[in-house]
Structure 1
């Protein structure tokens, strides 16, 4: 597999994120941005939402054409999945997901396929990360780890999943083939 080209474009607050050794990382979490494009995802990542002066973001972002950006070094803890940040790397794939009605009860179907170039870039990135992080063995989707539900935006009497990414269009079999990574099963309870 060819070595991926990764473009660094660190978030402004990257130096405020806690450092960790490469040996602390044992998990990759796959996300989709649930936004229309990379520029909008960058805007969301730059928003300060934590008292530490940091925001919610993944480490890597892969655009639909396979272009790969690193917003946070893997040796820093990014805020991308509740309860798993200290030992995981977050990879965000640009994809509409449920945008713009994330929590509307009747808008919970994700229909945008992941382009071949994006999936090949992801596979190349995973191979590279396996070399950089010696304990990296597991992979999960955001939806596997965050099972929280919340009131629907259009009907508070109904609940919808907080996270559904990367969703049903994500080609797990293709991504896992030859990756050397084990997919974690979905959690059965929040913790």
Structure 2
């Protein structure tokens, strides 16, 4: 792989980062792409800081967040296991793209469209980050959307007789062909 241009990353660890389990670099073979389904990075940060697991004092968060302007923020070191995708956390790096998704009615049956496109700056930064992660983690082979890995359906919040997918991110606006074409990663199918 040719030398990569610098990728500015703002490192801003979550308060509980040191309490997340460490892992060896060679354990990482998967990147999971998410969207925050929140209006902005500040709200995503507040959600990430919430302690949801009292026994460990940790919460849910991706490793990296990419804002609409393309800025990249690291909240959890890649060599720590973040809580972002059920069943896949020990082997994966989570990348969150700031996007409203289905906010604020995530599970409402009549609010499942994910219409906000990702910005060109976000996709360029994502590709650069994926290329950098491939260089830093030689065992990294796969990429998946959160929706590929969590296909759980739940009763809709506005009509319990209907079901909706719990996770739909990164959703229909995500440019899979472009991202896969710019990296050596394979789309992971469970």
The answer to whether residue 23 in structure 2 is matched with residue 20 in structure 1 is: yes
Ranges of 4+ aligned residues in structure 1 off by more than 3 Å: none
**Secondary structure of 1:30's aligned partner:** strand
Q: Which residue pairs with 2:148 in the alignment?
A: 144
Pairs within 5 Å for 1:8-157: 8-50=11-53, 51-157=55-161
Unaligned runs of 5+ in 2: none
Structure 2 distance, partners of 1:3, 1:30, is 22
Instruction: Please report how far the alpha carbon of residue 157 of structure 1 lies from its aligned counterpart in structure 2 after TM superposition.
Output: 1.1
Q: Tell me the TM-score normalized by structure 1.
A: 0.96
Deviates more, 1:176-185 or 1:63-72: 176-185
What is the CA RMSD across the aligned residues, in angstroms?
Answer: 0.8
Structure 2 distance, partners of 1:46, 1:24, is 25
Structure 2 distance, partners of 1:181, 1:170, is 16
Q: Which residue pairs with 2:10 in the alignment?
A: 7
Structure 1 distance, partners of 2:77, 2:138, is 16
**Secondary structure of 2:42's aligned partner:** helix
Unaligned runs of 5+ in 1: none
Q: Which residue pairs with 1:162 in the alignment?
A: 166
Instruction: Please report how far the alpha carbon of residue 4 of structure 1 lies from its aligned counterpart in structure 2 after TM superposition.
Output: 1.2
Work out the number of aligned pairs and report it: 186
**Secondary structure of 1:90's aligned partner:** strand
Instruction: Please report how far the alpha carbon of residue 81 of structure 1 lies from its aligned counterpart in structure 2 after TM superposition.
Output: 0.1
Structure 1 distance, partners of 2:125, 2:7, is 7
Q: Tell me the TM-score normalized by structure 2.
A: 0.96
